[in-house]
Amino acid sequence: MVEVAGHPVGLFNDQLLTTVVKTHFQDIKNKGGVVEHVIYPTRTRGRGVANVTFKEKKGAKNVSRKQKHCQAEKVGPAQFTVSHFGEKVFSSVKAILDLSVFRSQVILESLVTDLTRKIPTLSFSPLEPNGRVSVQGSFLDILRLKETLLLKASSLLEKNRNFISEEKWNSQGPKRDLQRGSNSSESPGSSVPETTRSGETLVLDTDVFLYLKKSRFYESTLKKCHVFCQERVDGEITTICIRNAQQCSHPNNAKLVKALIEEYSLALHFELKKETLLLKGKENRDKRRIKSACEQVSLRYPKVLINFYETHIDIIGSSSDTYLLKKEIMKLIRLKS
């Protein structure tokens, strides 16, 4: 987050000024990148001062290097200063967690220990008999804690419903369509030997899962640990069943792989951003032009995943990459039209 001061009071209404500030910092010439929030006026500094939150830290660092910024002439002459707000925006956040909802599924003490291991920068109070625990830390760490607990709850919910039984998985073929239907697939291949009956289940956001499969981490981890995964894509949710290969001499490998994928996917959840190009209602010629532009520009962005659907195109990657890639695509489309 950065603090932007020096805006002329009364020149714009609050909503228009917020738009002007956001547009300024997202302009590629100013090297700010994607702006998530603009708060104006601020509660502590009042009018003339805005707080701007960037998707990535480097965006805030880039604009802070240039203390004086000039507003675009077309919206009126004005000069404002930028200073780094730092982590003192939220020096500490405190939350009360009611973990009693997990009591019938897991040992709560073990759950708290696991959370402490995953997010060591958080401070947990002793667990109370009613299942409540106080936790304190930075805002981003509290947000990460929230996502971790949601993933845990989703995974337990799927297990309770027996969403994936061994018989159901075995009856499914290895085909999976990316059109977000109720489909399943198997990695690394259908030639994998028969598995043991024990397995681990993991529930992921489908966009995160598709990006995860694009990386070398996924397939290499499965091969190194001698496990294989059966995947079921159901709309926005993908469920993965991880099993040890029969010849595997380490029965805990499936659990280890689950922990590795869970940790990596959680990091991706905070890092990835999705941009969407709509195809619905467009002429076939326009659709071909858009797809061609995507394929052409994507060659310069190997870390970005582009998924083509009948009604739209998803662009998934870091906020800076997706923002720049989409901007280049739109520019190329205009040139071709």
Both tokens assigned to 167: 């018989």
Q: Is residue 23 part of a domain?
A: yes
Both tokens assigned to 322: 């997706």
Q: Provide the pLDDT for residue 292.
A: 92
Distance of alpha carbon 296 from alpha carbon 336, whole angstroms: 12
Mean pLDDT of the chain: 77
Whichever domain contains 6, its CATH number is 3.30.70.330
Query: Which contiguous run of DSSP H or E holds residue 297?
Result: helix 284-298
Q: Of the residues 30, 50, 84, which one is the last residue of a structural domain?
A: 84
Residue 30 CB neighbour total at 10 angstroms: 16
Are 312 and 296 a contacting pair, CB within 8 Å?
no
Distance of alpha carbon 78 from alpha carbon 86, whole angstroms: 25
Query: Which contiguous run of DSSP H or E holds residue 96?
Result: strand 93-98
CA atoms within 13 A on the CB side of 334: 6
Q: Of the residues 37, 62, 84, which one is the last residue of a structural domain?
A: 84
What are the distances in angstroms from CA 69 to CA 30, 51, 74, 161, 257? 9, 15, 15, 56, 48
Report the DSSP beta bridge partners of residue 205.
Answer: 237
Q: Say yes or no: 25 and 71 in one domain.
A: yes
Cis ω for the linkage preceding 174 (within 30 of 0): no
Label residue 225 left, alpha or beta by phi (over 0 means left) and psi (-120 to 50 means alpha).
alpha
- DSSP annotation of 182 reads S
Number of domain units in the chain: 4
Q: Say yes or no: 267 and 211 in one domain.
A: yes
Mean pLDDT by 10 residues, the chain (337 residues): 74 77 82 82 68 84 76 61 58 83 87 89 91 86 82 69 46 44 46 49 85 87 86 83 72 84 81 87 90 91 91 89 89 78
Residue 305 CB neighbour total at 10 angstroms: 21
Q: Provide the pLDDT for residue 190.
A: 32
Q: Provide the pLDDT for residue 294.
A: 92
Whichever domain contains 212, its CATH number is 3.30.1370
Q: Provide the pLDDT for residue 14.
A: 75
Are 124 and 133 a contacting pair, CB within 8 Å?
yes
Q: Say yes or no: 238 and 279 in one domain.
A: no
What is the tens place of the pLDDT at every residue in 209-245? 899 888 888 888 888 888 888 888 877 788 888 888 7
Q: Is residue 188 part of a domain?
A: no
Distance of alpha carbon 318 from alpha carbon 275, whole angstroms: 10
Q: Is residue 110 part of a domain?
A: yes
Q: How many residues does the chain have?
A: 337
pTM of the complete model: 0.49
Structural domain including 310 reads 273-335
Q: Of the residues 229, 245, 272, which one is the last residue of a structural domain?
A: 272
Whichever domain contains 306, its CATH number is 3.30.70
Q: Provide the pLDDT for residue 46.
A: 58
